[in-house]
Structure 1
Amino acid sequence: MNSGTLRKISHFLAPISQPFIAIFLALVVGAIAIIVTGESPFNIYKIMVKGAFGSEYYLLTTLTRATPIIITGLGAAICWSSNYMGIGGEGQMIMGGFLCAVIGFHFPGPQWLKLTCAIIFSLIGSGLYSLFSAWLLDKFKMSLAISTLMLNYAGAYIAMHFVQNVFLDTTGDAKLVQTQMIDESIRLPRIVEGQKLHWGFGIAVLLVILVWFMMNRTVFGYESRMSGFNIHFCDYGGINSKKIMYGMLTLSGVICGLAGVIEVLGVNYRYTHNTYVSASYAWIGLNAALISGYNPIGIFFTSIILAGISTGGAAIARATSVPLEISTIIQGCITLFISARIAIQFRRRSRKLASPAKDGGSSGDILIPETKGEILR
């Protein structure tokens, strides 16, 4: 095997190498926590793998849970790869799901028109919701992380208000704040009859391909990556960084909103308050994006693994004395390790940027850092 082939294989495996390293280290920490409970880590992890991938039912259940994680991970990767560190995927997903459920049930006309309008207006609504955070950053220099985080809470309670006071389903359990169920004719069909997995997973796979192509084979993707490397250099070179900001944050909101739409059309068939929050789809998706280095292919595999940890954790809780929270510990450790890696890279980059000045470099030189994140927005 020649060196060129080895380089190609290394380049292909790069998107999934970082996630597996972070997950391996997290599993080591999880093993220590399991030992504290008096159980064998090997037996517990065997049950976890079986409960996530051990049969057709468990595998398809894991892929169903992975679907919104993949999509929200792609939405996070789009803005984070451009160095716009928004964390509003949860609020955008809520907006998409809420609008889809309401429009899909109440919009007049034939079913095909209901479905079309539900999808289009839901994606527009979630995109505009994300666009609002971009406007706050542009006009008032408001921290994007803070504004998007607060908009998560705002989105959840705005949807709850309208569901509880306008669109509440009074025919079912009065304790649940939820809309009425959409008609069967506009629901996503199952990939395997009798199983949970629906064609939303196929949409997620297609979206992985499209986002990869956009980020790596289009002018817009190139300009967004350059904005992530050095926004000042982009402005100097004629790239409109403001247009990139608005475009990437809006597109990110549209994609995260699509995750909510697919959950309504393929899983829940209605919007229920707090469903997306308790499941933490957007936050797990953000973790998948971070530990994959914003690579869509890496996000796909990482999301499936993270979903498997959740479904496998439920199997552990049913079959052993180890609590369900062990899966949360593992996911938290994955986030911790990837955050440590990012912090180390940022520190090294800061030293590299400072070294030319110490060596007598001109203060007017334009420096292009080797990795993303020179300017935290």
Structure 2
Amino acid sequence: MKNFLVSLLSIFLGLLLGGLVLKLSGINPLDAYTVMIEGAFSQPNYISYIIIRSTPLILTGLSVAFAFKTGLFNIGTEGQFIVGALTATFLGFYFNFNPWLQIPVVMILSCFASSLYGGLAGYLKARFGVHEVLSTIMLNWLALYLSNFFVFIEGFRRPDTETTEFINQSASITLLENWKVSESGMAWLENHTFWKSFLRPPFNAGIFIALIMVFLIWFILEKTTFGFKLKATGFSQLASRYAGINTNLKMTQAMMISGALSGLAGALHVMGVSKNVAVLAAHEGYGFDGIAVALIGSNHPVGVLLSGFFLGTLKYSGQKLQSALEAPSEVISIMIGVIIFFIAIPSIFNWPLKILSRIKKESKQ
């Protein structure tokens, strides 16, 4: 409960300081937040875009949270995301099976590739004591440059571009993709304006898979012996060893599962939205944003789900500020930074929380 209140207070302070920055920029904060709310929920297609934007954040947030539970800081979610996206593009282009086979094969193999990539950092930590923050930072850049290298492979690269070929239709998880442009689909959508607007973006099955993963990770951590051993390793490696738990194995397994979740985020993004990968000049940020999602969500699967939607909404609606009010693009980043800052030092809220607790007790009396 305390973690939940800390997150709420941190969000409030983030919005408050964001409003202050807007005021200093000569923009009325109330007008700005009105634009953000309308830009997020006033049209069905805005809601669809928010869901699309939130899906990878939920999965990378789960990835970070899962590693945290084992006492590990997986800052390599960005690299694992890239590995998953690249693998999905490669398999989605070169394989062309029946969709019922193609889609699960691409997802599973993408998760497997990124789990090995994440597991490498776990193994280095367990076997040689290499700190996972250092190894995963290096692996992030290695993934980026490997991805750029593979983009230029002859036959995989689209001619005269810096992108790969698109994945086959059989690997796409975009919902009703062909039906939307068929005569019957267009006729039906003309009479149903909500769905016409909602399905205009590349709405896909990724959000449903993300929801399944939220439940699965919660179940593993809270209802299984395996999850108990992972959390025990996170609480105290020494005590866990005395209890007979192979902590080195658990750390490696945790990083493999964490990597698989980030890779799944990358795969779903390719299969449902981008349909290919391009040369990267810098990291896209989905993995790094997952760290913010995990912290805001207190590393709990349900909290990660809610904070993923919150951050996705904030980032999407923040784009409206620039176009509508010419607000500084850095405002949203400042808000997120302030939120994370206060979550990182929860002791700052001890005094106001004690006052709230005292008021609550006095009201009951």
Name the counterpart of 1:187: 172
What SS class does the counterpart of residue 36 from structure 2 fall into? helix
Cα distance, 1:78 vs. partner? Answer: 0.6
Contact 1:92–1:253 under 8 Å retained in 2: yes
Match of 2:121 among 133, 139, 144: 133
1:34-89 deviations in whole A, cap 9, x for unaligned? 11011111111111121122321111111110000000000111111111112100
Aligned to 2:264: 258
Q: How many residues align?
A: 329
Q: Which of 65, 69, 78 is the equivalent residue of 2:57?
A: 69
C-alpha root-mean-square deviation of aligned residues, in Å?
Answer: 2.2
What is residue 94 of structure 2 aligned with on the other side? 106
Partner of 1:311: 316
* TM-score in terms of structure 2 length: 0.85
Deviates more, 1:245-254 or 1:265-274: 265-274
Cα 1:79/1:225, change in 2 over 3 Å: same
Structure 2 residue corresponding to 1:334, chosen from 325, 332, 339: 339
Identical-residue share of aligned pairs (%): 29
Q: Deviations 1:88-124 (Å, cap 9, x if unpaired)? A: 0010010011011011111365555443432222111
Match 1:323 to one of 313, 323, 328: 328
* Pairing 1:247–2:253 present: yes
Deviating beyond 4 angstroms after TM superposition, the runs of 4 or more aligned structure 1 residues are 108-113, 342-345
Whether 1:285 aligns to 2:303 is no
Unpaired runs of 5+ in structure 1? 1-9, 346-377
Q: Following superposition of structure 1 onto structure 2, how do residues 126-205 of structure 1 map, counting pairs within 5 Å?
A: 126-166=114-154, 168-171=156-159, 174=161, 177-190=162-175, 193-205=199-211
Q: Letter of the aligned partner of 2:246 in structure 1?
A: N
**Residue range with higher mean Cα deviation, 190-199 or 312-321:** 190-199
TM-score in terms of structure 1 length? 0.82
Corresponding residue for residue 233 of structure 1: 239
Give, as a single letter, the amino acid of the residue that structure 2 aligns with 1:137: K
Counterpart-to-counterpart distance in 2, 1:107 and 1:221: 35
The residue number in structure 2 matching 1:268 is 274
Query: Matches of 2:168 and 2:262 in 1, distance apart?
Result: 23
Residue 296 of structure 1 pairs with residue 281 of structure 2: no
Kept after mapping to 2: 8 A contact 1:64/1:197: yes
More divergent stretch after superposition (242-251 vs 162-171)? 162-171
Q: Distance in 2 between matches of 1:121 and 1:182?
A: 15
Q: Distance in 1 between matches of 2:232 and 2:349?
A: 22
Structure-2 separation of matches of 1:273 and 1:341: 40
Contact 1:112/1:186, CA 8 A, preserved across alignment: no
Separation in structure 1 between the aligned mates of residue 62 and residue 51 of structure 2, nearest angstrom: 16
Opposite residue 247 of structure 1, the aligned amino acid is Q
CA distance in 2, matches of 1:204, 1:300: 9
Give the letter for the 1:128 counterpart.
Answer: L
| 2:228 maps to 1:222 | yes
The one-letter amino acid of 2:56's match is P
Q: Structure 2: 5+ residue runs without aligned partners?
A: 177-197, 351-365
Q: Is the 8 A contact 1:102 1:167 kept in 2?
A: no
Contact 2:10 2:339 in 1 (8 A): yes
Displacement, 1:201? Answer: 0.6
